[in-house]
Amino acid sequence: MSATAMLQTGRDCPHAAPTVLELDERRGTFGMALLITAESMLFVVLFAAYYYLGPQTDRWAIEEPPRLHYVIPMLVILVVSSLVIYWGDEKVKKEAFGAGKLALIVTILLGCAFLALSYFDYTEHLRTLLPQSDSYGSIFYTIVSLHVAHLTAGLLMLLWTLFQPRWGPAQFTPHKPYHNAAMYWHFVDTVWVFVVAILYVYPNIVH
């Protein structure tokens, strides 16, 4: 059956499950994978810059390591949110859309809680370190701020997904909006694990 005939069948039977071309379903997910790969390389470069501008240079004037009492709860929040959205994604695949919606709302709330704690973490560190203080302050705030920007983008994706009329198979785009938004959220959570390990925990170990 041709693609045109397959789509026409869906129009003639509006109450039947729509016929979706496998290629169309893969396009969105493949595009999201490419976006995540590109964004991952950006963070790899920034982490390499952090290493290059390390404490062996004269431009690095770290007096005390970053504090952990906000970032550890923030890490827990993102790990839990990633588990929640994964559970919701699995429910959506089984067409349990009510559970999927609940997981999506909880994930959004957890993301907002992360942003609130991020504000307090920023406020505390800005008392002793400014972006223009030295190379350490510059790269520290660049990485952390870029992650916050990506997390905000992830929240907007989740909010957009929440208001989509359909998460299951659809003849027209977006295909698999829930799954693709969840992919990006997992990426944001994974990046934060590296940010905490490299920028926060390691300096506390070696200081």
Q: Which of 143, 144, 136 is nearest to 54 (CA)?
A: 136
In a domain, residue 92? The reply is yes
CATH of the domain at 140: 1.20.120.80
Residue 107 located in a structural domain: yes
Task: Look at residue 14 and tell me if it is in a domain.
Answer: no
Residue 103 falls inside a structural domain: yes
- What residue numbers bound the domain in which 192 lies? 3-8+19-206
Task: Report if residue 32 sits inside a domain.
Answer: yes
At 43-60, the pLDDT tens digits run 999 999 998 887 666 656
Structural domain contains residue 123: yes
Residue 187 lies in a domain: yes
- Mind listing the pLDDT tens digit for each residue in 95-104? 888 999 999 9
Q: Do residues 77 and 117 make contact, with C-beta atoms less than 8 angstroms apart? A: yes
Give me the number of domains the chain comprises.
1
CA distance 171 to 14: 11
Rounded Cα distance between 103 and 150, Å, is 20
pLDDT in tens, 125-166: 998 888 887 888 899 999 999 999 999 999 999 999 998 877
